[in-house]
Amino acid sequence: MSDGDAVARQFLRHTLAVLAYRAAKVLHEAPGSFSSTKISGTSRMPGQILGHISDLMDWALSIVRGREAWRDSPTGEWPAEVDRFFGSLRALDQYLASDADLACPAERLFQGPIADALTHVGQLAMLRRVAGSPVRGENYFKADIVAGRVSPAQSPPRREFE
């Protein structure tokens, strides 16, 4: 593996840790009704969005393995969807941490499924506010985010906003 490939993989792993940190914050203590919050007749509900993010991570893993496959998974119960999200994130991170070849350029992986997932976590944050359970803003520059930490267990915020 070249130095450039190693740097790109480390950046991707850090990005996945950012995704995990931000998602954990949005998913933590979400009200029971949050999963089915609907803001319009055509919008996805949070449970569907979270399921889609898991599908994106599964797709990303299939891409890096060289066997690209998309799957629309049925939406499960909220706790199962949260577990599935962190499990799919962990599987992708573990692949990136390995010496296995990437079957695609790192930049394309970022511009597709990973960037899309970050967008959807932002949607979930907005929907938390709409559902009456806003997530506190934070100075993410100061957050303790570490490549490889892709579980719901995250460091506490260092500087949240009032």
pLDDT of residue 158: 86
Estimate the share of the chain in helix, then strand, then coil, as percent rounded to the nearest 5. 60, 0, 40
What is the span of the domain harbouring residue 120? 3-30+44-142
Residue 155 lies in a domain: no
Residue 84 lies in a domain: yes
Residue 39 lies in a domain: no
DSSP states of 36-49 as a string?
G--SSSSSPPHHHH
Mean pLDDT, the chain, integer = 93
DSSP states of 97-150 as a string?
HSSPPPSS-HHHHIIIIIHHHHHHHHHHHHHHHHTT-PPPPB-GGGS---TT--
pLDDT of residue 161: 82
pTM above 0.85, yes or no: yes
Residue 161 lies in a domain: no
pLDDT tens digits, one per residue of 78-136: 999 999 999 999 999 999 999 999 999 999 999 999 999 999 999 999 999 998 999 99
Residue 37 lies in a domain: no
Q: Structural domain tally of the chain?
A: 1
Residue 98 lies in a domain: yes
Residue whose pair of structure tokens reads 């029971």 in the numeric block: 32
Q: Is the pLDDT of residue 151 over 70?
A: yes
Q: Is the pLDDT of residue 31 over 90?
A: no
Residue 66 lies in a domain: yes
Q: Which carries the bigger pLDDT value, residue 29 or residue 51?
A: 51
C-alpha pair distances (Å), 131 with each of 37, 51, 79, 114, 147: 7, 19, 18, 26, 31
pLDDT band at 1 (very low <50, low <70, confident <90, very high): low
Residue 157 lies in a domain: no
